[in-house]
Amino acid sequence: MTHSEALPQIAALDALDRAHLIHPVAPWRVHEKRGPNILTGAQGIWLTDGKGQQLLDAFAGLWCVNVGYGQESVVQAAAEQMRQLPYATGYFHFSSEPAIRLAAKLVQISPASLQHVYLTLGGSESVDAAVRFIVQYHNAIGKPGKKHFIALERGYHGSSSTGAGLTALPVFHRGFDLPLPTQHYIPSPNPYRAANPADGQAIIDASVAALKAKVAELGAENVAAFFCEPIQGSGGVIVPPKGWLKAMREAARALDILFVVDEVITGFGRTGPMFACDAEGVEPDLMTVAKGLTSGYVPMGATLMSNKVYSAIADGAPKGAPIGHGATYSAHPVSAAVALEVLRLYEEGGVLANGQRVASAFGQGLDDLLSHPLVGDSRHRGLLGALELVSSKSTKAGFDAALDLPNRMAATAYQNGIVFRAFGDNILGFAPALTFTESDFGLMFERLKKTLDDVLAAPDVRAALKD
């Protein structure tokens, strides 16, 4: 079917979407009026929409399609697994070859402390499982008072009923009775907003001091764990100074609280190495992953844990009693088969190495835009990056919300054939596929610059600039 033939069908889909489909993290009534951007196809780094427009995807879907679209070997792996064994429960001691191989592979490639893997359906469920396992762990070791969790301001840990309280973004709390009284935050290690952005050690020291102070305030005997993203993604791609993760790991150890690294975005080459933990030799007690695990081709995540945590839970339950956590689709064989092929592409397929090779073109392209009148900050690690738009480069002040800059950036970008994330607070997030070439980046930055120029051309935006 050509795209012009498809148009009437798209109009019908548009109406059905507005009437029936609830979209994640959307303003529902606004969506009914606005309608969806319906995607109909994808290849490489390109998306196609229902009107036949080609869009350069600078966000890998939702920071997940790390291997790019249209990887035929991944499709084959799913199809073969569906033909052979489309479903196998993990309950009642059943198992399947792809799930077993995937667990072993994840243990092989992840930090050495992590020896056991619980396979989930995505990031939120991985975080939720981690929280449940941590509660079970402290009860099992006879420290039932340890029920409080500490996370970072602006952190994102998904939107499960508990995990959304570890997420420190107000929109995930409002009307949901969160955070819980057991959920607490310490400030983000945000160099751009620090007193001296160049003094990385001061930023690290401030985070360590904040964690120590929060634990002292709550009482170490009451604190279960510290959760963090190595680079905060949905909070605006906040890149801490090198050494921050390691320092926080050591602080958590000294404070006798579990250290949980949420690598849902940063995992699988997004920041360069397979995991962001690897860059600093960090060995967490638990780690959550998803997104790049299957590159978004099918849903899957994982919660990895150390021997210490696993053994305490295993031996803490009454003899022979099950540990009551699981789901019908835990360790789904089709998702596991896809993950194994995606992991093969990262390693043998050279995708990880390509991502590392082109990261300098990505970083340079973002940094070059610092000269643009709208751009106050450029930050990045590997292929994860952001530009922060400000009304004054000297004061770093943002923009009046009435200007609706994020929606205008997103709409203009769409017209210019590029998709990225325009966060509510004027931060633009980028997470290109690890398969990007230098010339793909050339086109991406051409379109991004044109988008910034087009938005700046609006008289009200120009007038809002204070410098």
Ligand X SMILES: Cc1ncc(COP(=O)(O)O)c(C=O)c1O
Chain residues in the site for ligand X (CB under 6 A): 122-124, 127, 156-158, 229, 233-234, 262, 264-265, 290
User: Going by C-beta distance under 8 Å and a sequence separation of 6 or more, which residues neighbour residue 11?
Assistant: none
**By Cβ distance, which residue is nearest to ligand X?**
123
Angstrom distances, CA of residue 95 to CA of 101, 136, 222, 314: 11, 24, 37, 19
Q: From edge to edge, which strands make up the β-sheet containing 258-262? A: 114-120, 301-306, 286-289, 258-262, 223-228, 148-152, 183-186
Nearer Cβ to ligand X, position 158 or 165? Answer: 158
Which amino acid type is present at position 362? F
Residue pair 241/164 in contact (Cβ under 8 Å)? The answer is no
In angstroms, give the least distance from the CB of 292 to ligand X: 11
Residue pair 167/156 in contact (Cβ under 8 Å)? The answer is yes
How far is it, in rounded angstroms, from Cα 63 to Cα 49? 19
Nearer Cβ to ligand X, position 374 or 386? Answer: 386
In angstroms, give the least distance from the CB of 303 to ligand X: 11
Nearer Cβ to ligand X, position 257 or 431? Answer: 431
Nearer Cβ to ligand X, position 229 or 440? Answer: 229
Residue whose C-alpha is closest to residue 64's, from 254, 213, 265: 265
User: Going by C-beta distance under 8 Å and a sequence separation of 6 or more, which residues neighbour residue 61?
Assistant: 296
In angstroms, give the least distance from the CB of 305 to ligand X: 16
In angstroms, give the least distance from the CB of 124 to ligand X: 3
In angstroms, give the least distance from the CB of 168 to ligand X: 12
Nearer Cβ to ligand X, position 124 or 354? Answer: 124
Q: Using DSSP, how many helices (H) and how many strands (E) does the chain show?
A: 15, 15
Which amino acid type is present at position 217? E
In angstroms, give the least distance from the CB of 121 to ligand X: 8
Nearer Cβ to ligand X, position 127 or 337? Answer: 127
Residues facing residue 116 across a β-bridge: 305
In angstroms, give the least distance from the CB of 262 to ligand X: 4
Nearer Cβ to ligand X, position 126 or 391? Answer: 126
Angstrom distances, CA of residue 224 to CA of 114, 288, 424: 18, 16, 32
Output DSSP code: residue 385: E
In angstroms, give the least distance from the CB of 123 to ligand X: 2
Phi/psi zone of residue 287: left (φ > 0), alpha (ψ -120 to 50 degrees), beta? Answer: beta
Nearer Cβ to ligand X, position 225 or 464? Answer: 225
In angstroms, give the least distance from the CB of 208 to ligand X: 21
Buried b (16+ CB within 10 A) or exposed e, 18-30: eeeeeeeeeeeee
Nearer Cβ to ligand X, position 158 or 179? Answer: 158
Nearer Cβ to ligand X, position 50 or 122? Answer: 122
DSSP string, 170-186: GGGTTTTT-S-TTEEEE
User: Going by C-beta distance under 8 Å and a sequence separation of 6 or more, which residues neighbour residue 123?
Assistant: 157, 158, 262, 264, 288, 289, 290, 291, 301
Q: Which two tokens stand for residue 334?
A: 């089709």
Strand locations in 58-122 (E): 114-120
In angstroms, give the least distance from the CB of 233 to ligand X: 5
Nearer Cβ to ligand X, position 265 or 313? Answer: 265
Helix (H, G, I), strand (E, B) or coil at 69: strand
In angstroms, give the least distance from the CB of 392 to ligand X: 30
Residues facing residue 226 across a β-bridge: 150, 259
User: Residues in the chain, how many?
Assistant: 467
Nearer Cβ to ligand X, position 226 or 441? Answer: 226
In angstroms, give the least distance from the CB of 15 to ligand X: 27
